[in-house]
Amino acid sequence: MVKEKIFPDNFLWGVATSAFQLEGSPYADWASWDALLDTKPDVTNHYALYKEDLNLLKDLGVNAYRFSLEWSRIQPREHAWDDSAIAHYQEVVDILVKNNIEPIVTLHHFTHPIWFIKKYPWHEAASIEKFLLFIERIVSTLKGIRHWITFNEPYVLILGGYFEGCTPPGIKDVSLGVKALKNILTSHGKAYDIIHSHIPDAKVSVAHNMAALAPWRIWNPLDSLLSRIAKHFYNHSLIDAFLTGTLHIKFPFKKAIEIVVPIKDKLDFFGVNYYTRIHMRFNPFKKMGVELRHRDIDGYGLTDMGWEIHPHGLEKVLRYASKLEVPLIITENGIATHDSEKKIKFMKRHVDVLERCIKDGIDVRGYFYWSLIDNYEWLQGLDARFGLYRVDFDTLKRRPTNAAAYYSYLIKSRDF
């Protein structure tokens, strides 16, 4: 009996990383965020050991690699460009292409040059022009890249940087956050055009973090209301804006906001980052009356970061994203745990859900596990072990986990 082929030809099996989380940068805003950084993020020394790390991709048997460019290395000062940094990333691309590994390049993965965040933070209109100068420089210089992601998780950037103020630029002002979001999405629309002007057949997207959202107490109408509002804002509003050109935002107990953004149909695929389910609880003593909670309902446990493992939620977010009628790529999916067997079960359960979605007609073209090696996690430092390869932060040695071997097996068993 011949096994039915589920995954399409040229399906992208890969892993994902971000530059700052592996290599750090003395010129980045996060590097000066002293309140958070009790550990320097360049602990993996990836910028020097990149060839060794790229060899791990061959060992895994992946055919794609998602990585980001560290803007602050490339443009450390407003009017100064470091051509050696661009050459470094070009060499990374060349190595990948030589090994038949598709490069998926993220242009903005949370970090900024210090000069940018001080003079042109995203709530200022001038931020758009400055970011687009970076885009133009990169796209006109780097060769061999078809897949581009303009922004990683723009909503996470806004929530951390402007709503909670726990990440750069450290502002607690919702109105400025809304302005920043408008400018970021406007930047995507314009960047989309710039990329296509240089590379007509380019594939351009964003990577949108989506979560399964549910009420903490099903019987409580306020919990249910909050979960519906959160689902629309966090998961759906960006997707709807790509369909309509209008960003519709509804916050709890406030007047809805509508913003015209030039992003309608400016997608060639759509990147979905999925990790967990979050429960919403009304709490009048919290900001906007919202309290976020995790609990183990499915019996799969929690991650080391306290996140619920909820594979079924992947199907929910993919079904909604499929409204865009462009190919979908799971640009991140992973678990923070020291337990390799738990990592294997997490991966298997989510890929099983993915397989079911593809069989049901959802057009998913790729799956990227987060992450290749252990790295610096933004608010958790070095304890969040996402890597398929364990890093000894004292010796810098990379050691494969059982999950790395399993991912290799999984790829071969699904790709025949």
Kindly give, in sequence order, each residue whose CB lies less than 8 Å from that of residue 153, ignoring residues fewer than 6 positions away.
110, 207, 208, 209, 273
332: annotated active-site residue: yes
Whether the Cβ atoms of residue 162 and residue 218 lie closer than 8 Å to each other: no
Rounded-to-integer distance, Cα 326 and Cα 300, Å = 32
3-state secondary structure labels for all residues of the chain: CCCCCCCCCCCEEEEECCHHHHHCCCCEHHHHCCCCCCCCCCCCCHHHHHHHHHHHHHHHCCCEEEEECCHHHHCCECCECCHHHHHHHHHHHHHHHHCCCEEEEEEECCCCEHHHHHHCCCCCCHHHHHHHHHHHHHHHHCCCCCEEEEEECHHHHHHHHHHCCCCCCCCCCHHHHHHHHHHHHHHHHHHHHHHHHHCCCCEEEEEEEEEEEEECCCCCHHHHHHHHHHHHHHHHHHHHHHHHCEEEECCCCCCCEEEECCCCCCCCCEEEEEEEEEEEEECCCCHHHEEEECCCCCCCCECCCCCECCCHHHHHHHHHHHHHCCCEEEEEECCCCCCHHHHHHHHHHHHHHHHHHHHCCCCEEEEEEECCECCCECCCECCCCCCCEEECCCCCCEEECHHHHHHHHHHHHHCC
Kindly give, in sequence order, each residue whose CB lies less than 8 Å from that of residue 132, ignoring residues fewer than 6 positions away.
187, 190, 191, 194
Catalytic residue among 332, 341, 355, 377: 332
**Token pair recorded at residue 416:** 């025949």
Kindly give, in sequence order, each residue whose CB lies less than 8 Å from that of residue 278, ignoring residues fewer than 6 positions away.
211, 212, 213, 214, 230, 292, 293, 294, 308
In the numeric block, the tokens 């709490």 are attached to: 283
**What is the residue-wise DSSP string for 199-212?**
-TT-EEEEEEEEEE
Active site residues: 332
